[in-house]
A and B are shown apart, each in its own frame.
Chain A
Amino acid sequence: MDDVIRTRRQLPHGLCSLAAARGTPGAVVPPPPGLAPPRAARSSLPAAAAMFRARRLLLRLATRPLLPPPHARGYAEPAAGPAAMAFTFASPTQVFYNGANVKQVDVPTLTGSFGILASHVPTLQVLRPGVVTVYAEDGTATKYFVSSGSVTVNADSTVQVLAEEAVTMDMLDLATAKSNLEKAVSEMAAASDEAAKAEAQIKVEANEALVKALE
């Protein structure tokens, strides 16, 4: 469980609140997404379960971000979930990461933005136009703009972010984005039927996200 404590410490404070809002279903204490799903521990021996409960208590004390939690590592225990994330990020024409070991990924989804660390709860999400930020092991952050796509987090800590179109931020131009946004807004105003209106709306949303990302 020590990888959990480690990842909890690494979460930037600003993201804690966002991430904490997601929570794991069925857990008594809403833990941060870095926590491995308790299911693995529940299925083990009662002694390990008791130890797990004790650990959770320790974590509750450790939720104050100023105090680093004490390292009480039991070398005989296996980690509750794979500590490393195998991250795959690709578009149909380009692969950015393939099974890479990264620290954290921030994704914009239809239900909100959230950050994914190793041992995140398995989930399926759909991307909306926005910025995907990848934090590598050494802390450097790389940003990509994605148009749409899907995110899959599996139980074995593999994460697949498949984007329909993804570009690095330096391929985008703020002035062009702004002029496209104006064109899209005027298109939406002039749209006659439902389908044209919906298409124009999609354009407006995408361009808004582009402008916001570049500013």
Chain B
Amino acid sequence: QVRNMATLKDITRRLKSIKNIQKITKSMKMVSAAKYARAERELKPARIYGTGALALYEKAEIKAPEDKKKHLLIGVSSDRGLCGAIHTSVAKTLKNEITNLTNAGKEVMVVGVGDKIRGLLQRTHGNYSLLTFKEVGRRPPSFGDASVIALELLNSGYEFDEGSVIYNRFRSVISYKTDEKPIFSLETVAGSESLSIYDDIDADVLRNYQEFTLANILYYSLKESTTSEQSARMTAMDNASKNASEMIDKLTLTFNRTRQAVITKELIEIISGAAA
């Protein structure tokens, strides 16, 4: 196969398109930087709130008994891409967990928060999907969103015994880690032995408390996830802009070389034509 040397027109076209792309990625980076600043600011109180909500599970060391069958996995991500490995890391953890749990003989259902999770799991693990939540990631998450998710979960009719929320925990601007936090059903918590040291709990109060804690944990994971996503998008767009500038530099050099070659060829044609 003989490939023609790129003409000036081809290079010009490519250069123009890459310059446009660079403008877009730069502006996306600015937007994510602004959203990230806001998300990180809101994460600070949300983190304390979330650790407060999880404190009971940690201090009382509540564990579901081994023979309980029904498990629930909630994968928290978002609708929009171009943020690096955010969605794939959550989906990978979900897939591993599904495999482990089904091998252990448990029944698993998956709830996806964010359209990307649904897309990534659809082909291979589509039959495990219980609920999907869309329109995630457009606006910063609020407690109202978390309570909507909790409400739908409780109304879904799937009586899970225990479960976990898989989300991306924000560590720093350049790093995040996929993390798992446990959730328990009302029966598991009520039946747990360490709960007997807690005084004066009746079933109604415990149910209210459990539902509220579920919403709290979801809120915390949503906040962490958004911050990780915005920082990852910022990094990804920054890298894309850098790559684009590299390509622009290289292409500009090629363009100049090609231009000079074209001029030299014309000159030679003229000179040899004149000589002939």
Contact = CB atoms under 8 A, between A and B. Distances in A.
Contact of B197 (A92, A148, A150, A155): A155
Contact of A150 (B198, B200, B213): B213
Contact of B199 (A123, A148, A162): A123
Interface in B25-63: 42, 44-46, 48-49, 52-53, 55-56, 59-60
Contact of A24 (B199, B205, B213): B199
Contacts of A155: 59, 197
A124 B59 contact: no
B53 A162 contact: yes
Nearest to A94: B45
Given A111-B205, A124-B56, A93 B42 contact: yes
B48 A126 contact: no
Contacts of A201: none
A154 B205 contact: no
Interface of A: 22, 24-25, 37, 39, 88, 90-95, 98, 110-111, 121-126, 148-150, 152, 154-156, 158, 160, 162, 164
17 contacts: A90-B45, A90-B52, A95-B44, A111-B200, A123-B200, A124-B198, A124-B201, A124-B209, A125-B209, A126-B209, A148-B212, A149-B212, A150-B208, A150-B209, A152-B56, A158-B59, A164-B212
B216 interface: yes
A121 B198 CA distance: 7
Q: Closest 8 CB pairs between A and B?
A: A160-B52, A92-B143, A126-B208, A95-B45, A121-B199, A90-B49, A154-B59, A123-B199
Contacts of B53: 160, 162
Given A122-B198, A124-B205, A125-B205, A162 B216 contact: yes
Given A121-B199, A125-B205, 7 more contacts: A39-B197, A88-B52, A92-B49, A110-B204, A126-B209, A162-B52, A164-B212
Chain B interface size, under 10 / 10 to 19 / 20 to 34 / 35 or more: 20 to 34
Contacts of B197: 37, 39, 122, 155
Given A122-B199, A154-B59, A156-B59, A93 B45 contact: yes
Contacts of A39: 197
Contacts of A122: 197-199
B219 to A, nearest CB: 6
A92 B55 contact: no
B267 interface: no
Contacts of B262: none
Contact of A95 (B48, B55, B60, B204): B48
Contacts of A98: 48
